[in-house]
Amino acid sequence: MATTLIRCGFVILIGIVCSTSIQAEFEWALRDGFPPPEILPREKAVELGRALFFDQRLSKNNNIACATCHRPELAYTDGLVKSSGSDGDRVSRNSMSLVNVAYNKTFGWADNTIHDLESQMHRPMFGNDPVEIGASTATLDRIIDDDNYRRLFANAFPDQHKPVNFNNIIAVIAAFEVTLISDSSPFDRWLLMDESPSTIAARGFHRFVSLGCSKCHAGLQLRIEGYFNTGVQSTDVGLMKVSGEEQDRGKFKVPSLRNISVTAPYMHNGALQTLEEVLDHYANGPNPELELQGFELTRAEREELLAFLQLLTDTRFLKLQQNSNPTN
Ligand code: HEC
Ligand code: HEC
């Protein structure tokens, strides 16, 4: 289903009539450098996905939604070292930001086999190691029994006889996730020459580059594709769990640093509480094999780096009404 939506959306974009039953496409207002994601969601799917993203009724004990662990105001993280699922059991890693997730090639901290948002969603929805949402046919019935959802699904999938099903639920939540695009941080405004940063933040950027941070945290999303072991103390074998290769031990995906000031605690295991601790971690030369040599920072240099990292906070995006819980 998702692929049909995508193809038709794309066809509409290039001006060829697709099908009369396809509704208005999502309207993008993106800045230069932010191409519309390859997945082009429809307006109705996005609205439905938004509602479901915040709805706890899908969860086993009526207590957890995607938004429990991915809170909009925290750039879709949750402020916890590790969150708990519907049964109260802790998940094994720190919650990830969903900002600009549409541009990711793989999903999760250390899994290079998951390439789309729909496949990713199987773990939080149905996984039981531990249970996260714990969705089942019983919880699906709560959605089916809701008149409003029945109407909205019938509207979004007019050709289907029983449109309230997990395939469609996953497709519309993915459509909502694709729209979570943050492109108006002071850093973006600097790149577009709309606005200059403070001298201290500009110096911080140069230090960020000269210290080698931009070897991995580069480009518009401040990340390159790839998995590295940056020496974070952890019992988690990272990418090795999926690949079975010893050389992948302790390797994790390079995360974007967008909105990093609001996504503490940091790293795959939430082991570092503040950005100061992250800087200390790198300053201590965590991994000589990666040439992550240590460095000394004066108080002033540290302040510069922190000021640069602050530039990556897109306050407008974090408050966007269109991404918030629609029932509030
Ligand atoms: C109990 C907390 C919890 C819930 C509920 C939850 N997530 Fe997550 N999410 C996480 C954690 C933890 C990770 C990192 C998992 C890993 O790598 O092992 C993650 C990762 C992700 C990622 C990967 C992001 C990236 O950049 O690679 C996506 C996408 C995502 N979640 C979407 C969702 C959606 C959609 C839902 C609801 C259907 C959901 N999550 C529910 C905790 C949660
Ligand atoms: C060799 C690649 C590489 C270099 C160089 C690098 N990082 Fe990272 N960075 C990563 C990876 C991989 C992670 C995730 C590690 C983990 O979770 O164990 C990460 C995580 C982070 C995080 C936490 C992100 C989050 O969402 O929790 C911050 C902040 C950060 N890096 C800043 C920096 C700074 C500042 C520098 C330069 C001093 C730097 N990085 C250099 C690869 C790199």
Residue nearest to atom 3 of ligand 1 (CA): 69
CA of 155 to the centre of ligand 2 (A): 44
> Could you report the per-residue pLDDT of 256-301, keeping only the tens digit for each?
999 999 999 999 999 999 999 999 999 998 887 787 889 999 999 9
| Among 54, 9, 326, 35, residue whose Cα is nearest residue 181 | 35
Locate the ligand 1 atom nearest the alpha carbon of residue 255 and give its number: 26
Contact, 87 vs 61, CB < 8 A? Answer: yes
Q: Which ligand is nearest to the CA of 272?
A: 2
Residue nearest to atom 6 of ligand 1 (CA): 66
Residue 24 has a pLDDT of 62
Q: Which of 234, 282, 302, 313 to mutate to test the pocket of ligand 2 (most atoms within 8 A of CB)?
A: 282
Q: Which ligand is nearest to the CA of 223?
A: 2
Contact, 279 vs 302, CB < 8 A? Answer: yes
CA of 62 to the centre of ligand 2 (A): 36
Locate the ligand 1 atom nearest the alpha carbon of residue 93 and give its number: 12
**What is the pLDDT confidence band of residue 36, given thresholds at 50, 70 and 90?**
confident
Is 146 exposed, middle or buried, given 0-12, 13-18 or 19+ CB atoms closer than 10 A? middle
What is the sign, positive or negative, of the torsion defined by CA atoms of 147, 153, 159, 160?
Answer: negative
Bond from prior residue into 197 cis (ω within 30 degrees of 0) = no
> Could you report the per-residue pLDDT of 114-127, keeping only the tens digit for each?
999 999 999 999 99
CA 193 vs CA 19, 32, 178, 209, 324: distances in Å? 41, 12, 27, 19, 30
Locate the ligand 2 atom nearest the alpha carbon of residue 213 and give its number: 37
Is 20 exposed, middle or buried, given 0-12, 13-18 or 19+ CB atoms closer than 10 A? exposed
> Could you report the per-residue pLDDT of 206-229, keeping only the tens digit for each?
999 999 999 999 999 999 999 999
Residue 273 to residue 80: CA distance in whole angstroms: 10
Residue 3 has a pLDDT of 35
**What is the pLDDT confidence band of residue 103, given thresholds at 50, 70 and 90?**
very high
> Could you report the per-residue pLDDT of 13-35, keeping only the tens digit for each?
332 233 333 346 778 778 877 88
Residue 17 to residue 175: CA distance in whole angstroms: 21
Locate the ligand 1 atom nearest the alpha carbon of residue 91 and give its number: 12
Number of Cα atoms under 13 Å in the Cβ half of residue 67: 20
What is the sign, positive or negative, of the torsion defined by CA atoms of 75, 7, 163, 119?
Answer: negative
| Among 312, 324, 256, 326, residue whose Cα is nearest residue 72 | 324
Print burial letters for 224-255: b (CB count within 10 Å at least 16), e (below 16).
eeebbbbbbeeebbbbbebbeeeebebbbbbb
Residue 314 to residue 183: CA distance in whole angstroms: 7
Q: Which ligand is nearest to the CA of 208?
A: 2
Query: Which two tokens mark 115?
Result: 């390439």
